[in-house]
Amino acid sequence: MSWREPLFLTNDDGIDAAGLQFLIQILHRRGHPLAVLAPAEEQSASAMKLTLQNPLEFTNRHDLIETLDLDPEGPPIYLYSLGGSPCDCTIVAITHGFENWAPLVRPQLCVSGINRGPNISIDVIHSGTVSAAREAALYGLPAIALSLGTYAHEDYSIADSVILNLIDRALNVVHDEPSNLLRTRGSRQIDWNESEMEISERVRCAFRSGDLILNLNTPAEWTGGVETVPLGARWYHGATQLSADGRHFTVGAASIEDEPIPRTDCSSLMAGKVVISPMATWPQSHPLNIPDSILKSALTEDVDGYPAWLNVNPTDGE
C-alpha cells in the first residue's frame, strides 16, 4: 500500500499531552508514517535545554496506539518517550538514526506540537515547542512548530484544516529525504548574494536546508483568516512573586501586554487569525544565517494568507 510522506513528531508538553495525541491522530489517519519521540513529562518553557551526561530513559509507548484509536493496519507508527527535554528528544531521534528506532520511517519534516498556549513574540525564545523544531532544523531536518494560542480551552481541532494545509504545502517544498541531514556539508551553502535563483526559490532552499523554520499559532476562536506575519512585541509584567516567608520565588507573569503593532503575530492572533511566522534558525552572526532579504521575502503572503513561496509544484525548483 502507498502511504503519504513520513514525519517526525515531538513536543514540549510530553508524550501524553492532548495536543500531540490529536496531531498523531489526524496525521496517521491521513496516511502519514510517523516517528514520535516526545518528553516523558511536561517540559514547557525549557527552550534549548540539553540534559548533559545523564542517562535518559527511552520508553516504547506502543500502548498509546490502542488508546488513540489508531488503525493497526494503517501506516507505520513508532511512539517513544524520553526522560529529557524537547531538544534532547530531537537530538536522540536524529543522531541515533531513525533506521535504528523507527525503521520504516524516514521523515521528510519535523512537526513539533501542538503546544497548549501561544508561542508568539518573545515566547519563541523560551518555548520548548519552537526549540524542538529549531533543533531539528539545526540538524538539517525542515521543521514546523504548532501551538494553540490560548489557555482558555483545549480544542486542538480549531483551524486544523490550516495545520494540515501548511504541512502539505511544506511537504511539497521538501518533497524528498533531507539532503543535508546531520549537516554533512558543514557551513558550505549557497552564496545568497551571488545566486541567480529567484528569491522565492532561495527561501525554499533555506527551508529545505533547515535554515528557516515556520511557527504557527491558532487562535482561541478562529475568524477564518490566515496571515503570514513577523513576530510582535509582548511584555510580561510582574514576572516574579516572593512568598510570604521570603524563602521562595515563583516565576510567572501577573499580566501580559501586547503592543498594538499591526500585522504581527500578537495583534493578528488576538484578532482571531491563524498566524504563520517564518523565523531564521541560526544566530545572526553564524555563517549559515540567512540574509534579511530572504527573511523579508519569506513573509510575502499568497491570496489565502499562507507564505507565497510554499506555492510550488513538487517537481519545481529541482
How much is the mean pLDDT over the chain? 94
Confidence of residue 59 (pLDDT cuts 50, 70, 90): very high
What confidence score (pLDDT) does residue 45 get?
93
What confidence score (pLDDT) does residue 194 get?
62
What's this model's pTM, rounded to 2 decimal places? 0.95
Does 109 have pLDDT greater than 70? Answer: yes
Q: Domain segments of the chain: what residues? A: 7-233+262-310
Does 315 have pLDDT greater than 50? Answer: no
pLDDT digits (tens, 9 = 90+) for 288-312: 999 999 999 999 999 999 999 999 8
pLDDT digits (tens, 9 = 90+) for 155-165: 999 999 999 99
Topology annotation, domain 7-233+262-310: Stationary-phase Survival Protein Sure Homolog; Chain: A, (3.40.1210)
pLDDT digits (tens, 9 = 90+) for 10-32: 999 999 999 999 999 999 999 99
pLDDT digits (tens, 9 = 90+) for 166-216: 999 999 999 788 989 999 989 887 776 666 789 999 999 999 999 999 999
Does 221 have pLDDT greater than 70? Answer: yes
Residue predicted with more confidence, 253 or 47: 47
Residues 6+ apart with CB under 8 A from 316: none
